[in-house]
């Protein structure tokens, strides 16, 4: 028999039910689609402006992955010990944006479901600032 601390207990079920209630009440699924599309479009636009830094953008909804070129091909990152994603993430942290890397070349963006269009634009501006620095 296998037991679990959180699975199926009354508190966990009540919390899960409340989360679903709030998602439906605030129509967060619509927000995820709209702001996710905004981020996708913005990241793809940045890819076209900084093609030597940004190789691709992928994801679904608000779960986005910004794929960078290998660090040796990025002017400001070449010759450094840290991976391209670690260097990009560190620059985003310095700009006030919290994110994490995934592997050597992907910057993971996982904003909350209630992220606004204005907050997405602010994130895109910070990403562009770092991409501009990275491009040299």
Query: Tell me, what's the pLDDT at 1?
Result: 53
pLDDT score for 5: 63
| Residue 108: partners with Cβ closer than 8 Å, 6 or more residues away | 64, 65, 99, 100, 101, 102
pLDDT digit string, tens, across residues 48-69: 999 999 999 999 999 999 999 9
Q: Enumerate the domain spans of the chain.
A: 10-135
Question: Looking at residue 136, what is its pLDDT?
Answer: 85
CB 134 within 8 A of CB 74: yes
* pLDDT of amino acid 121: 98
Domain 10-135 has CATH 3.90.1150.10: yes
Give the list of residues 6+ apart from residue 123 with CB closer than 8 angstroms, or none.
39, 97, 109, 111
> pTM for the complete prediction?
0.88
Segments of the chain scoring below 50 in pLDDT? none
Q: What is the pLDDT of residue 6?
A: 61
Residue-level pLDDT at 2? 58
């Amino acid at each position: 028999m296998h037991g679990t601390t959180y699975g199926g207990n009354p508190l966990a079920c009540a919390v899960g039910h409340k989360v679903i209630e709030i998602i439906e009440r605030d129509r967060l699924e619509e927000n995820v689609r709209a702001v996710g599309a905004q981020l996708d479009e913005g990241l793809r636009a940045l890819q076209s402006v900084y093609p030597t830094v940004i190789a691709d953008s992928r994801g679904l909804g608000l779960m986005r992955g910004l794929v960078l070129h290998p660090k040796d091909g990025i002017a400001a990152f070449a010759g450094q010990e840290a991976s391209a994603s670690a260097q990009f993430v560190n620059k985003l942290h310095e700009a006030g944006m919290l994110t994490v890397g995934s592997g050597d070349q992907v910057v993971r963006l996982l904003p909350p479901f209630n992220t606004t269009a204005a907050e997405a634009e602010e994130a895109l501006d910070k990403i562009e600032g770092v991409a501009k620095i990275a491009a040299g």
